[in-house]
Amino acid sequence: MAFNPLNWILGFFSLDIGIDLGTANTLVFVRGKGIVINEPSWVTVERKSRRPIAVGQEAKEMAGRAPKNVLVVRPLRDGVISEFEITEEMLAYFIGKAHEQSIVPLPRPRVVIGVPTGVTEVEKRAVNDAALLAGARQVYLIEEPTASALAVGLPIDKVGGTVIVDIGGGTCEVTVFSMGGVVSSKSLRMAGDEMDAAVLQYIRNKYNVLIGERAAEQLKVKIGSAFPMKEEKTATVRGRNLVSGLPETLEVSSIEIREALSGVIDNIVQAVKETVDEIPAEMISDVMDAGICMSGGGALIHGLDERLSEELRIRCWVADDPLTCVARGAGLVLEDIEAYSHFLLQLD
């Protein structure tokens, strides 16, 4: 990447930012400050004009409660942009909010954004253009697993295999690195959102009670698991009985939620297994030494590390603060974009 003196000078003054534009959450990292924004990737718009009403946490709170003229939108699906204009507005809002925290007017920022591995040229361009329109001076794209691995400090530059499994809202990505590059990767468009849907469906089938998407997510976070717990737990959830039409409060157990999640968890375990099976024999012993690192919010499902370790016969461990890995990795790249340029993606 050519040295650009103007960028170098502007870099001292602008709040350069790293962004994890996730299906579930958007995080913004500001150089020198750390993570300043961590909000759901949700937007509410006025149905007819499509004018934004609320962004982030405020918009998510409105889900299932908004009047008819208000549309609740999740502009990213499966890790990529599905609603371009709304994504751009959401990014502009977050970039503006990150900049607002400065008392002096600042030049437009340089922005490093994480994208899922294997995104198409069109998808890369969509992210790039949305960030430029949202106020970025220059945009750099990095594959999310690379950003996470940098944040965790995995030795992805060295000869030998390093594996990271990221389980987010929309996608589960398994990536094998060696010598700074991706040796192989598998992306499953099934992760946290599918788990929520599975919990909702389970409660509906078993109890004839319809619960909200957010209530399903809360049950998953509170008592979801992938491996038997030492002490099984229970939680209450409210919904509407589909036969009587009346509100109902249920007490459900972690055993039930584990059963509800089992299909999605089995698919994730299978995807990791298939990728690990393809690792060349020379590299597998490196992976066995270092273990497999898990990141993303889905890595926090109770016992998923144990379940994977048992099935793969390789130690699997959860990164510290797995929800912020991509944003922290993008932040690390901002420290010295030239030095990390070999990890950045090019637009054709």
Ligand X SMILES: Nc1ncnc2c1ncn2[C@@H]1O[C@H](COP(=O)(O)OP(=O)(O)OP(=O)(O)O)[C@@H](O)[C@H]1O
The residues that touch ligand X, with contacts defined as CB under 6 A, are 20, 22-25, 79, 168-171, 191-193, 217, 220-221, 224, 296-298, 300-301, 323
Task: Select from Mg ion, ligand X, none the partner in contact with residue 24, using the beta carbon and a kind-dependent cut-off of 5 to 8 Å.
Answer: ligand X
Tell me the C-alpha to C-alpha distance, in Å, between residue 82 and each of 86, 141, 149, 184, 194. Answer: 9, 18, 26, 26, 17
The answer to whether the CB of 170 falls within 8 A of the CB of 24 is yes
303 near Mg ion, judged by CB under 5 A: no
- Residue closer to ligand X, measured from CB, 321 or 338: 321
Instruction: Find the part of the chain contacting Mg ion (CB under 5 A) among 19-27, 134-142, 151-159, 175-183.
Output: 19-27
Tell me the C-alpha to C-alpha distance, in Å, between residue 348 and each of 122, 124, 345. Answer: 10, 10, 10
| Shortest separation between residue 178's beta carbon and ligand X, angstroms | 23
Task: Select from ligand X, Mg ion, none the partner in contact with residue 331, using the beta carbon and a kind-dependent cut-off of 5 to 8 Å.
Answer: none
- Residue closer to Mg ion, measured from CB, 11 or 40: 40
Instruction: Find the part of the chain contacting Mg ion (CB under 5 A) among 51-59, 117-125, 164-172, 203-211.
Output: 164-172
| Shortest separation between residue 300's beta carbon and ligand X, angstroms | 3
| Shortest separation between residue 56's beta carbon and ligand X, angstroms | 12
- Residue closer to Mg ion, measured from CB, 39 or 256: 39
Q: Vertex 117, ends 112 and 119: CA angle to 5°? A: 90
- Residue closer to ligand X, measured from CB, 109 or 224: 224
Task: Select from ligand X, Mg ion, none the partner in contact with residue 217, using the beta carbon and a kind-dependent cut-off of 5 to 8 Å.
Answer: ligand X
Candidate list 40, 52, 75, 168; residue touching Mg ion; CB under 5 A: 168
322 near Mg ion, judged by CB under 5 A: no
Instruction: Find the part of the chain contacting Mg ion (CB under 5 A) among 20-28, 94-102, 211-219, 221-229.
Output: 20-28
Measured CA to CA, the distance from residue 30 to residue 35 in angstroms comes to: 6
- Residue closer to Mg ion, measured from CB, 176 or 330: 330
- The mark string for 65-104 relative to Mg ion (x by CB under 5 A, - otherwise) is ----------------------------------------
The answer to whether the CB of 135 falls within 8 A of the CB of 108 is yes
| Shortest separation between residue 143's beta carbon and ligand X, angstroms | 12
Tell me the C-alpha to C-alpha distance, in Å, between residue 322 and each of 131, 189, 299, 319, 328. Answer: 24, 19, 7, 5, 10
22 near Mg ion, judged by CB under 5 A: yes
Q: In the complex, which residues of this chain contact Mg ion (CB under 5 A)?
A: 22, 168
